């Protein structure tokens, strides 16, 4: 059995990524009177606030100075926090709470590896804080996803080597980060987008601990 489980937050534990993109759309509309196309949502999944904003501005071919950039990030976070006020345990994605309970029963240590600065607040609103022994601080890592830093920090937070960890992600950048960290990657979503994952489930409700453990053991033997 693996010793650690590392979780992304948005799109894995709860679908808060929807709130992120709603906040980005409002921000760009309020400041630049432009609409964001839906295809940009995938590019902002799993990455930091600064990286998301830069990708959006690059797409729209908008340049701002450092002060304006910081102001836009702060304004977006205010919009996002307003949307989070409606968050409750009902927003936990199907199958996740059951998986967390199973992992806890198996004495697997859990850590959060999210780019979200609001992760502690979100876990509290979802009433899931007690499941996690560590929350990696995205401010403290040098590089965001797809670099492995946040997953390495999460594994370090529970004192488990990455090779002894299984990590859950729904974004391309997140799967790349897990693989670079040399942990076992479990993707949630489209097989086309997340083909690099070691194991893939279409939806959170399909997550199966026995299947994950079997695939992990086969992967570990191949190292």
Residues annotated catalytic, as ranges: 8, 10
What would the pLDDT profile of 107-121 be if each residue is shown by its tens digit?
999 999 998 888 999
- For residues 44 and 54, give the distance between their C-alpha atoms in angstroms, rounded to a whole number: 10
Structural domain boundaries of the chain?
4-15+89-221, 17-84
Whether 17-84 and 4-15+89-221 are alike in CATH topology: the answer is no
Residues at the annotated binding site? Answer: 8-10, 24, 52, 76, 114-118, 145, 169-170
Task: Supply the pTM of this predicted model.
Answer: 0.84
Which strands sit side by side in the sheet containing 165-169, from one edge to the other?
134-135, 109-112, 4-7, 165-169, 184-188, 199-201
pLDDT level of residue 17 (50, 70, 90 thresholds):
confident
- Specify binding-site residues for Mg(2+): 8, 10, 169-170
What class, spelled out in words, does domain 4-15+89-221 have in CATH?
alpha beta
Instruction: Give per-residue pLDDT as tens, 139-169.
Output: 999 999 999 999 999 999 999 999 999 999 9
Q: At the fourth CATH level, which superfamily is domain 17-84?
A: Putative phosphatase; domain 2 (1.10.150.240)
CB 20 within 8 A of CB 10: yes
Cα–Cα distance, 61 to 2 (Å, whole number):
45
Which parts are annotated binding residues for substrate? 8-10, 24, 52, 76, 114-118, 145
Provide the pLDDT for residue 42: 82
- Show Cβ contacts of residue 102 under 8 Å, excluding neighbours closer than 6 positions: 209
Average pLDDT value for the chain = 95
Query: CB–CB of 83/22 below 8 Å?
Result: yes
pLDDT in tens, 190-214: 888 899 999 999 999 999 999 999 9
Query: Residue 50 above 90 pLDDT?
Result: yes
């Amino acid at each position: 059995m693996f010793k650690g489980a590392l979780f992304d937050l948005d799109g894995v534990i709860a679908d808060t990524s929807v709130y992120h993109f709603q906040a980005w759309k409002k921000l760009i509309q309020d400041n630049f009177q432009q609409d964001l196309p839906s295809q940009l949502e995938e590019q902002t999944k799993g990455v930091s606030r600064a990286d998301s904003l830069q990708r959006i501005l690059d797409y729209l071919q908008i340049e701002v100075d450092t002060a304006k950039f910081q102001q836009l990030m702060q304004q977006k976070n205010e919009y996002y926090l307003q949307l989070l006020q409606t968050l409750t345990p009902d927003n936990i994605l199907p199958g996740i709470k059951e998986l967390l309970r199973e992992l806890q029963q198996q004495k697997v240590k859990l850590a959060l590896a999210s780019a979200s600065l609001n992760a502690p607040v979100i876990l509290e609103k979802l009433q899931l804080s007690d499941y996690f022994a560590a929350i990696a601080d995205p401010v403290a890592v040098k590089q965001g996803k797809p670099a492995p830093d946040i997953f390495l920090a999460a594994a370090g937070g529970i004192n488990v080597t990455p090779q002894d960890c299984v990590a859950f992600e729904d974004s391309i950048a997140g799967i790349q980060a897990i693989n670079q960290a040399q942990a076992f990657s479990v993707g949630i979503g489209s097989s086309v987008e997340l083909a690099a994952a070691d194991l893939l489930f279409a939806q959170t409700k399909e997550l199966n601990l026995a299947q994950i453990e079997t695939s992990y053991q086969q992967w570990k033997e191949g190292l």
